[in-house]
Amino acid sequence: MKLFRGLKTDIGIDLGTANSLVYLKGEGVVFNEPTLIAVNNKSGQVVAIGNDAKQMRGRTPMHIDVIRPLINGVISDFMMTQEVLKHFVRKIKKDSLFNYVRAVVAIPTNLTEVERKSVEDAVISSGASVAYLIEEPIAALLGADLPISEPTAHMIIDIGGGTSEIAVVSMGGVVVSRSLKIAGDKMNDEITRYVHDDFKMAIGEPTAERIKIEIGSATGSGKPMEISIAGRDLSSGLPKEATIKDSQVRIALMPSVRQIVEAIRDTIEKTPPELSGDILKRGIYLSGGGSLLKGLNELIEKEIGVKTIIVDDPLTCVVRGTGRAAENIETHKHAFALSVRPINIE
């Protein structure tokens, strides 16, 4: 029986702009690494992938670039995306006797047919035998252990690194959706710009990320917080240290937060009335790393007037959903992405 189980390996993949996670059937989440790859420009050789590449970011010589092969959830560099996927699949395959891998991959709702095909091709060319695509909101609901096949609505907002996916799901499909290119990376950019303008100081993306995680918030509740940051003085070019307060970070993040709230409102306005009633009863669910921004659920609840719940372990919610689909592919085939598109609000 153990030998028969080795004939194939089913995996779930959350190929994110910021982080990629892999779920192995029967084991759970086995990989969680940054979607980064370091390349030697002189030789074209891949120097590092994932965590190793992250440690090099902002510290490499001129001939080595650390790049993200996905931008806003879309593959921007096919070859490098393939290398990242190979990095994961190669580790999985060594435990599979006949190297037959079926992969369930989460994708944003607004991808074109060409973009969906590029994801499929990248997964198969990385070593997988079959690739099934599942839209991120459906995967997030599966990961949150919510019923997706019933004729009732669930509203999910998945705030990742490159995109925020807002969707209403009913009977196993997305009814209304909105995909925003405003998420964790955009918030980091807003913090970097604020520090540049108000402190006359340049900081890197890792510092902006630390600021957001440690003192970033959407509402002004709790006692004031502040942290020390280091960067480069724009006038002298010399190293500089400064202290930034949570109220300043909140000002920097407010434009992005407001746009997410407005997109949620627009999506609800386009939702059929019967399903809107379901959302009011069941609430709005938040997933993804961006949902951990302090006070975001409280702000959405206040502005929209609907109870807003952060799912358990929001960082791994989507990959757990792809994993549930991978655990029983035949049962969840109805939820895999088809050519029919939901209403997409622009």
Query: Would you say residue 328 lies in a domain?
Result: yes
Query: Would you say residue 149 lies in a domain?
Result: no
177 phi/psi in degrees, rounded to 5: -145, 160
Query: Would you say residue 230 lies in a domain?
Result: no
Contact 63, 42 (CB under 8 A): yes
Rg (CA), the chain: 21
Query: Would you say residue 192 lies in a domain?
Result: no
Query: Would you say residue 155 lies in a domain?
Result: no
Question: What type of residue is 74?
Answer: V
Mean pLDDT of 52-61: 86
Query: Would you say residue 241 lies in a domain?
Result: no
**pLDDT, tens digit, 9 for 90 and up, residues 148-197:** 888 889 999 999 998 999 999 998 889 999 999 999 999 999 999 999 99
Buried b (16+ CB within 10 A) or exposed e, 11-37: bbbbbbbbbbbbbbbeeebebbbbbbb
Helices (H) and strands (E) in the chain, counts: 12, 19
Query: Would you say residue 246 lies in a domain?
Result: no
Helical spans, DSSP H, in the chain: 2-5, 51-56, 78-93, 113-125, 136-143, 184-199, 205-215, 246-269, 273-282, 296-304, 317-327, 329-332
**pLDDT, tens digit, 9 for 90 and up, residues 251-287:** 999 999 999 999 999 999 999 998 999 999 999 999 9
Mean pLDDT, the chain, integer:
89
**Count of the separate structural domains present in the chain:** 1
Mean pLDDT of 104-119: 88
Mean pLDDT of 108-129: 87
pLDDT tops 90 at residue 305: yes
Instruction: Look up the domain containing 75 and give its range.
Output: 2-140+317-344
CATH number at residue 16: 3.30.420.40
Q: What is the pLDDT of residue 330?
A: 87
Tell the residue number behind the tokens 């502005």, with chain if given. 303
Q: What is the pTM of this model?
A: 0.88
